[in-house]
Amino acid sequence: MLKILIVEDHALVREALVRVLRALDTETRIYETASGDQALDVLKQERSFDLVLLDLALPGMDGFTSLKLLRQRHPDIPVVILSAFDDPPTINRVLSNGAAGFIPKSYSGDQLLNALSQVLSGQRFHPGNAVSVAQLDNETPVPSHRSNPSPMECGLTRRQGEVLALMSKGHSNREIAHQLGLSEGTVKLHAAAIFKSLGVTSRTQAIVIANRHGIKSVVR
């Protein structure tokens, strides 16, 4: 019998995952939480899990922080990231921080089960279309700013810094718009301005720059 913990804030997504995961083992026990904090509470009480399936875009403590704490406190439990934000820097970042695998939300149920079966058999799952961080580094310009600059030091407004911070956490334009009280069109305009200021041409490259140089921004 398998014990799996789902950490996902959208109820409909959790329900869909439960239906798919039942196919792994008819006796699978599935626990559901909507945040990283709740997941840690569950793991305090129920330690013998076979797998944690973790979303990145979580309320409160984000998925990256949740992953770090899960690996520190429960190193024997494999954590698999399930996210709609499946750009190569994000995939490589979570894998380098101890995730047992990364599964894009664009995967079908069969692809999800295949990936999880690999992880449960002791392998590490890495999407086949991801490229390495080293490849991206060679393609991404480096701004002439000091380490850990503020958004303003990179030519960004405070709002653009907030948008970039949420991008780096894996939020979609729609999610960013909702969190900041903006229209999706306004978020796209901010994104275009961010690309221009950082000297990049894509969201992926902007996130590489933000992560590599530690561009600091606080989302209110």
Under 8 Å between Cβ of 64 and 14: no
DSSP secondary-structure letter at 153?
G
Q: Is 199 left (phi over 0), alpha (psi -120 to 50) or beta?
A: left
pLDDT of 54: 96
pLDDT of 207: 79
For the chain, where do the domains classified as CATH 3.40.50.2300 start and end?
A: 3-120
Under 8 Å between Cβ of 23 and 43: no
pLDDT, mean over the chain = 82
Q: What angle do CA 163, 143, 95 make, to 5 degrees?
A: 65
Which CATH class, in words, describes the domain spanning 3-120?
alpha beta
Which residues in the chain come in under a pLDDT of 70? Answer: 129-149, 153-154, 212-220
What residue has token string 């992926």? 204
- Per CATH, is 140-213 categorized as 1.10.10.10? yes
| Structure token digits, residue 92 | 């490589």
For the chain, where do the domains classified as CATH 1.10.10.10 start and end?
A: 140-213
Query: How many angstroms from the chain centroid is the CA of residue 188?
Result: 20
